[in-house]
Structure 1
Amino acid sequence: MPPAPTKLLESYELVAAPMTLDDVPKLHELSIGVGWPHRPEDWALVIGLGEGIVARDEIGRVIGSAMWFPLGDEFAAIGMVITSPRLQENGAGRWLMGHILNTVGARGKVLNATRPAYRLYISLGFMPLSPVYQHNGIVGAVAPGPRHARPMTAQDVAAIHGLDSIAMGIARPDVLDRLLPLSTGTVVERDGRVTGFALCRKFGRGHVVGPIVAESEEDAIALVAPHAEAMEGSFLRVDTRQPDGPFRQFLIGSGIRHYDTVTRMGLGPVPQATGPAFTFGLVNQALG
């Protein structure tokens, strides 16, 4: 078996090792240290859906992470790339990304870049595609808007898989199969056909609504409204690529305010949505 890859960084010697569920407690500490809200359960979810590496120092502390998630055979999403700011400045992020890029190989790659990591990804050849707007906050009185969604049932699952594939430009059945048992859902139905859906689950400080797939902003509002009403007085998050308009104004009017912006980036070919349904809310920033 070849020796584990190492990197000497200032006074640290970092060792890269495959990420496992046993790493969750230390990964949780790592993400708390950089202000990310992920719970241990949120780490377990992504580890179950992808592959990752951890960077350990000489005494076994986890001081870096990076993951990738297969999207069919041709594409991959990259996420959960974390290092402390000082180590990032000294090349730890580039070292971790090098391992991930070598593993992913020729697949087209997408990721969501935070502001501190943006220049690193540009230097690795990624190109900006679109902003992603993180909305979160304590839900107040839910803003007025359409209310034509209904609760999801088991009979809707096949349609939800199909809509997600259309909106993503690639099928990801493993992701939805993992999310559905953890989520409550809403759907929009027209003429006996499901045309949109939204899933809400526990995440971070409260709950997140995502994915949200709809044919229009009106439908996206209708899909989110019941979840917001159920979460009144609680923390709710939505990550969306939607520009300013009725959907984001509905979120803001309900107390789910714009908190931060990251940038969706791609390297090589990336999945393309075909419509008429599009993604109005992400599963999370790692999975898209």
Structure 2
Amino acid sequence: MVSITTGGDQLSGQPDATFRLDDFKVTARDIAEPDLNALLALSVSVGWSHRAADWAFMRSVGRGLVAMDESGRVHGSVMWFPFGVARGTIGMLITTPRLQSNGGGLWLMGHALAQTQGRMLGLHATRQSHRLCRSLGFRDEGTVYQYQGHIGAVPYVAAPPEAQVRELAETDLPAIRAIDRAATEWDRGLLIDALLAQSRGMVLVRGERVEAYALMRPFGRGVVFGPIMADSDDDALRVLAPLMAAQTGSYGRIDTESVTSRIADFARQCGLEVVETVTRMSRDEPWPFSTGHAPTQFALASHATG
């Protein structure tokens, strides 16, 4: 079994491949193995809104494992998402109450940390997983607010005279990748490409230069807005507003680090409310997302990937 030092700075040894769960065992299996419906049943059992398509997307951009019994039922999951060779995030940590009460969350995280040794890691911890992540050496960095709700009347937001807001085009992709790299300081090219393949986007252009963008894609009960990257709150709002307006009457979600920003205020005006908070945490070195330099990430792509 995995051993953890007091204070949580190190996790040594390879976790056992099997885990005793009362009167039966579960085995650590690659997350690519189970049927999507088995993963969907797991997330539904804990009240998450992910669809089978959302699981398929996560598997396409990340790696991980599940706790599976002999009948093929999935009792837990954990994933990690590589960004370059030195960084990554951990997410999709789900355990059934039975697995969790027996220490299965620690066992799953042990496998994830064994697979990601040498990488700087970040994650967003729920209230249920926060203590576990603290025990494994992750440090608190801030709060992310999850806004959700049915989108009502969307206030009009005009572009300034010197800029144009338009639909994202294929020729904008190099600029989108460059903005993401500048904002996050991470190599998230594969993630951005995957997001662009299933998203609608808006860009703000000044002097033929793309300076802000926002993406929107199907997720859960409706759509999710993010990531949103811009040099200022004003520009972030300008690329978000047309996407939000196009979804009037639909169910929407946006994850942001603030409850006082213009983005947060706009979300509330459109009918979205904070339904959950998670804690941004890091291990070995801080996330670069909140450095305050421009461009800045104003909304996450997801809790799992940042």
**Which range, TM-score by smaller chain?**
over 0.9
Question: 1:133-156 CA deviation, whole Å, 9 max, x = no partner?
Answer: 101110000134444532111121
Q: How far 1:271 sits from its partner (Å)? A: 4.3
In 2, are the aligned partners of 1:70 and 1:76 still within 8 Å (CA)?
yes
8 Å contact kept, 1:170–1:271: no
Deviations 1:83-123 (A, max 9, x none): 01332122010000000001100211101101011111011
Which of 279, 288, 296 is the equivalent residue of 1:278? 296
> How well do the aligned residues superpose, as a CA RMSD in angstroms?
1.5
Match of 1:111 among 120, 123, 137: 123
For 1:49 and 1:248, how far apart are their aligned partners in 2? 28
Check the 8 A contact 2:185/2:288 in 1, yes or no.
Answer: yes
Match in the other structure for 2:12:
none
Aligned identity (percent) is 41
Structure 1 residue 123 corresponds to structure 2 residue 139:
no
Partner of residue 77, structure 1:
89
Report the counterpart of residue 218 of structure 2 in structure 1.
202
Q: TM-score, length-normalised on structure 1?
A: 0.95
1:135 is aligned with what amino acid? Answer: Y
- Between 111-120 and 81-90, the greater mean CA deviation after superposition: 81-90
Distance of 1:11 and 1:198 partners within structure 2: 49
**Which has the larger displacement, 128-137 or 144-153?**
144-153
1:233 aligns to what?
249
Question: How is 1:87-106 mapped onto 2 (pairs within 5 angstroms)?
Answer: 87-106=99-118
Cα shift readout 1:213-239 (whole Å, capped 9, x = no counterpart)? 011111111111111110000011111
Cα distance change on mapping 1:225 and 1:190 into 2, 3 Å: same
Query: Contact (CA 8 Å) 1:209, 1:281: kept in 2 or not?
Result: yes
Point out 4+ residue stretches in structure 1 off by more than 6 angstroms: none
Deviation at 1:60, TM superposition (A): 2.1
Aligned residue pairs total 285
Report the 3-state secondary structure (helix = DSSP H, G, I; strand = E; otherwise coil) of the residue aligned with 2:142: strand
Q: Which amino acid aligns with 1:234?
A: S
Aligned pair partner of 2:32 in 12, 16, 20: 20
Matched with 1:253 is 269
The answer to whether residue 61 in structure 2 is matched with residue 30 in structure 1 is no
Per-residue CA deviations over 1:185-226 (Å, capped at 9, x if unaligned) read 101112221111011111110111111001111111111111
Q: Distance in 1 between matches of 2:150 and 2:157?
A: 19
Could you tell me which of 49, 64, 79 is aligned with 2:76? 64
Q: TM-score, normalised by structure 2?
A: 0.89
Aligned-partner SS, 2:118: coil
Q: Name the amino acid aligned to 1:238.
A: I
Structure 1 residue 159 and structure 2 residue 178: aligned?
Answer: no
Q: Secondary structure at the match of 1:35?
A: coil
Contact 1:21 1:44 in 2 (8 A): no
The structure richer in helix per residue is 1
Change (3 A) 1:146 1:131: farther
